[in-house]
Structure 1
């Protein structure tokens, strides 16, 4: 049921300019700022894409990186919520996309999400997704498996990929 509702929400709210390319999986996507902005992140093979911009228009920023170039912090298995985040770097600016859900909330519970923009360790913006608009492939993000297929191994002890 959750998949159906997520798919329906994505179909209704997604706009072609910021939709995932054919054959891609949605990682985390949502509307922001009352629907005036959109964020879409996708995985296709070993490529991860990020698009942010005005809803209904072309993306203001599009990034594409190999999975090895995108840092990911997987859920460590503890806490009140299940969450994951991943970061794109671009010319000294980082874009950390995240999602979370209350741990025992049930399949109908909405996801939270957003993007944090930082430069030089300073937060420039923290945009939260509009309530009810978050679509995610959910725990565990297929990005984790794609990084493992690319030969990377995540260490819980160091919190880093080797």
Structure 2
């Protein structure tokens, strides 16, 4: 699965380092459709960072979460659509970043969005401008979660410290 994702994404541009902080590793970047704002997701020293704000200014929001506290839904390795999502929580509010690529479409157009949930209910959905979506590499976060002692349990669809195949 890891190799298939790498091969498919190899032709896509790498994320802009400017969206990360210092030595942060870029995982995702996009500009919001119809807005002068952008979203950047970075990984640095076991901490995942979510930055939202104007392209040429200070961030309106920065969330820093230990990798154990970020919910990652990795691609299951099957199907036409390569799709992954991750979620940062801030109290009762959750910011879900997701992308999908139609593997059968030769242009590999990326669809990405940020969905904002409050108390479990979606209150906003922000579409990314497809030509600005960069990175699409959640594998470093996956590996950081493994290093932190979590295991992905595909049967249960969740991260656990003690995943046992069913």
> What is the TM-score with the length of structure 2 in the denominator?
0.82
> What is the match of residue 158 of structure 1?
156
**Counterpart-to-counterpart distance in 1, 2:139 and 2:129:** 21
> What is the match of residue 68 of structure 1?
68
**Counterpart-to-counterpart distance in 2, 1:95 and 1:134:** 17
**Counterpart-to-counterpart distance in 1, 2:131 and 2:28:** 13
Comparing 21-30 with 142-151, greater Cα deviation is found at: 21-30
CA contact (8 A) 1:84 1:100 kept: yes
* Higher RCO (CA-CA < 8 Å; seq separation 6+): 1
RMSD: 2.0
2:51 paired with 1:51? yes
5+ residue gaps, structure 1: none
Deviation per residue, 1:83-128 (Å, 9 max, x gap): 111100002100011121112445x623221111001111111101
SS in 1 for 2:130: coil
5+ residue gaps, structure 2: 1-8, 161-166
1:22 CA displacement? 2.3
Aligned residues: 152
**Counterpart-to-counterpart distance in 1, 2:82 and 2:88:** 21
> What is the TM-score with the length of structure 1 in the denominator?
0.84
